[in-house]
Amino acid sequence: MKRELEHLANFLQAAVNHKKKIGFNGTLLIEPKPQEPTKHQYDWDVATTFSFLQKFGLTGEFKINVECNHATLSGHSCHHELETARINDILGNIDANTGDPQVGWDTDEFLTDISEATLIMSSVVKNVDGLAPGGFNFDAKLRRESTDVEDLFIAHISGMDTMARGLRNVAKLIEDGSLDELVRKRYQSFDTEIGAMIEAGKGDFETLEKKVLEWGEPTVPSGKQELAEMLFQSAL
């Protein structure tokens, strides 16, 4: 396994070298996909792919193409995978498709879930510079009894309209501001002196123990999950 990973890293480095040699300015993408073609893979999800790139010094050379159906196959939501890529500055492109979460293989269906599309567009809007020079593509196919050209035409329109509605919903959420404010309040302790110290990696156990003894038993605030869900759903 170690040898295979090293060979793969060498291949990817050769791709980077060739890109620079021919003057290609596009983005090199890796698409995480669990259990295909092998059972144990370095690219099971965004996190394992990012770790692989870090280990072999390739983080500045590749970005991630997130496919929503692959996200569910790896046990995550598409939004989780997009956010993992976004916060690590490796989100490069999105396969705007979906699949049946109860089916254990990649069905490559067109996205029609407005809620999922809204979460997807939320990550895109928050991503630095959006997806440029990447974007969206439909790595999707007709399924079951849909067999003619008209079905393919309708499916693409539906997929594009779904993403557009998701973007409009994100605009509503941003303009309203209630959900963002709820999240800010939920994590406002990170903006305190002790919170900033912990985030900076300066909170050793002795210091934290002293603070806990000074403060006594803490009052645990509500996460307001139901309110957050209501605010999100109100924009759909």
Confidence (pLDDT) at 144: 67
**CA distance linking residue 20 with residue 199, whole number of Å:** 38
CATH class name, domain 2-176 = alpha beta
Q: Are residues 236 and 118 in contact, defined by beta-carbon separation less than 8 angstroms? A: yes
**CA distance linking residue 73 with residue 97, whole number of Å:** 13
pLDDT in tens, 114-158: 999 999 999 999 998 888 888 999 888 877 677 888 988 999 999
Mean pLDDT of the 154-168 span: 95
**CA distance linking residue 204 with residue 182, whole number of Å:** 30
Query: SS3 of 28, please?
Result: strand
Instruction: Name the pTM for this structure.
Output: 0.90
Q: Where in the chain is the domain with CATH 3.20.20.150?
A: 2-176
Element (H, E) at 126: helix 114-126
pLDDT in tens, 181-227: 999 999 998 888 889 888 888 888 998 899 889 999 888 889 999 99
